[in-house]
Amino acid sequence: MSLKKALLAATILAVPAAASAQPVTGLYIGVGAGGNWVNNPSKFDVSGRTADISSGNFGLTRDATRNNVGKANFDFGWGGVGSIGWGFGNGFRAEIEGNYRENEVDSIRSLSVGGFGLSPVGRTGGFQRVYGAMVNVFYDFDFANFGLGQSIFQPYVGIGAGYAWTEWRNIRGVSNNPGTNGATIFANDTDAQFAYQAIVGVATPLTWLGVTGLTLTAEYRFFGTLQPELNTIVRAPNNVPIAAGQVESDNYHHSVMLGLRYALFQPPPPPPPVAAPAPAAAPAPARTYLVFFDWDRADLTARAREIIGEAADNARRVASTRIEVAGHADRSGTPQYNQRLSQRRADAVAAELVSRGVSRNDISVTAFGESRPLVPTADGVREPQNRRVEIVLR
């Protein structure tokens, strides 16, 4: 089995009762929800751009930056999207999307060298929430364009860009380091950055539910932003601030979502076909026999008599209602002479039919001369296949 046929059989064969997936045309809306993973571990950088505590600022001078000072792991979370868009009917569509993702902090690790000096960190808590608005462009693949026929499944790909807000809601951790035992790192801030995403999915219509334009979608999304800058404070066990500054966190997400897409203002599906009454039995097709003649002759050869005999037998067996006998000639003589020659040939065949038991009243005789050649030729050419009589049983 060829690869194309294997793919067709394994992944895109359409069930007869379902409608095939078609490119979206016109206005549509969509929603989706599913699981969300934050790229673990997320790396922290710190900077001295903002100093909430004049004596601290993570020990950095203003505008200084130190990379990779800590890492965080997040629990499995969830996300959701809502969109409104327009399909152009050729596979391309564009939409505006709103999105939301939430994950709880699982652990925070502050590096001992060059970091906060808080490791190990325990009693962590808080949430990271990311929400924003995107503009997406998609392309829906139509299997018919690849010679694979129609399918109930339609894969698609998309990219998007926009703006997203990253919120650290009560993110905290308590140091278990003997030197900083009981110190707490705390963040409760929001920052907005440029966001981007890539989407791979597959859609299948749900018209069998009776709703025209309704489609089920399943997709994977990679979502990221530039590093958000979030104000963070380190407090002593007595809750006195020790230092503060901005933490810049990696912000990459992986989402798997199920959704529904509804194309508005779609025409209703065509009604089911009505069974047509069984047609009356078609008349038996006409049978044609060809009798050929020597050049400039109208007498019957032995082979010609055999063919005429077969035609006569079949005429009696099928009870033909009309027998047409048409004479022809080639273009080796004048049209007038060939007209008379074709008439003699037709008369000879009709006489042989009568001698074999066919009623003369059932036979119609015509002569066409050289006007209807079986093989077109130039004038004056002797063509054996044009020297003939056609017997048609109807």
DSSP β-bridge partners for residue 163: 133, 194
- Which residues belong to CATH 3.30.1330.60 in the chain? 287-393
pLDDT at 9: 44
Q: Which residues of 127-139 are buried (b: 16+ CB within 10 A; e: fewer)?
A: bbebbbebebebe
Report the side by side order of strands in the sheet with 363-367. Answer: 287-292, 388-393, 323-327, 363-367
Q: Is the pLDDT of residue 24 over 90?
A: no
Express each pLDDT in 48-82 by its tens digit: 443 333 334 565 656 666 676 778 889 999 999 99
pLDDT at 321: 67
Higher pLDDT, 260 or 359: 260
Q: Is 190 exposed, middle or buried (0-12, 13-18, 19+ CB in 10 A)?
A: middle
Q: Which of 109-113, 230-234, 364-368 has the highest mean pLDDT?
A: 364-368
pLDDT at 394: 77
Regarding the domain delimited by 287-393, which CATH topology (the fold level of the hierarchy) does it fall under? 60s Ribosomal Protein L30; Chain: A; (3.30.1330)
Torsion, Cα 129 135 141 142, to 10 degrees, reads 120
pLDDT at 41: 66
Instruction: Answer whether 291's CB lies under 8 Å from 391's CB.
Output: yes
How many angstroms separate the CA atoms of 164 and 79, rounded? 14
Alpha helices in the chain, H assignment, sequence order = 3-11, 302-317, 335-355
pLDDT at 50: 38
**Average pLDDT, integer, range 7-19:** 42
How many angstroms separate the CA atoms of 287 and 193, rounded? 83
Q: Is the pLDDT of residue 18 over 60?
A: no
Q: Is the pLDDT of residue 393 over 50?
A: yes
Instruction: Answer whether 108's CB lies under 8 Å from 121's CB.
Output: yes
Q: How far is CA 106 from CA 53, 76, 127, 296, in A?
A: 28, 9, 9, 107
Tokens of 76: 């499995």
- Which residues belong to CATH 2.40.160.20 in the chain? 19-263
Higher pLDDT, 343 or 54: 343
Exposure on the CB side of residue 16, measured as CA atoms within 13 A: 1
Return the number of other C-beta atoms located less than 10 Å from residue 152's C-beta. Answer: 19
How many angstroms separate the CA atoms of 173 and 273, rounded? 68
Question: Strand pairing of 65-74 and 92-110?
Answer: antiparallel
**Average pLDDT, integer, range 126-153:** 86
Instruction: Answer whether 101's CB lies under 8 Å from 253's CB.
Output: yes
pLDDT at 391: 86
Express each pLDDT in 256-285 by its tens digit: 999 999 999 876 656 666 776 766 655 556
Q: What type of residue is 25?
A: T
Express each pLDDT in 173-224 by its tens digit: 888 777 677 788 888 999 999 999 999 999 999 877 778 889 999 999 999 9
Q: Is the pLDDT of residue 93 over 60?
A: yes
Q: Which CATH architecture has domain 19-263?
A: Beta Barrel (2.40)
Mean residue pLDDT of the chain comes to: 82
Higher pLDDT, 319 or 327: 327
Q: Is the pLDDT of residue 13 over 90?
A: no
Q: Among 114-118, 165-169, 180-184, whose mean pLDDT is lowest? A: 114-118
Closest CA to 284 of 385, 383, 393: 393
Instruction: Answer whether 60's CB lies under 8 Å from 6's CB.
Output: no
pLDDT at 94: 97
Q: Is 292 exposed, middle or buried (0-12, 13-18, 19+ CB in 10 A)?
A: middle
With a pLDDT cut of 70, the percent of the chain lying above it is 78
**pTM, whole model, 2 decimals?**
0.61
DSSP β-bridge partners for residue 66: 46
Q: Is the pLDDT of residue 112 over 60?
A: no
DSSP letters spanning 209-251: GT-TTEEEEEEEEEEEESPPEEEEEEE-TTS-EEEEEEEEE--
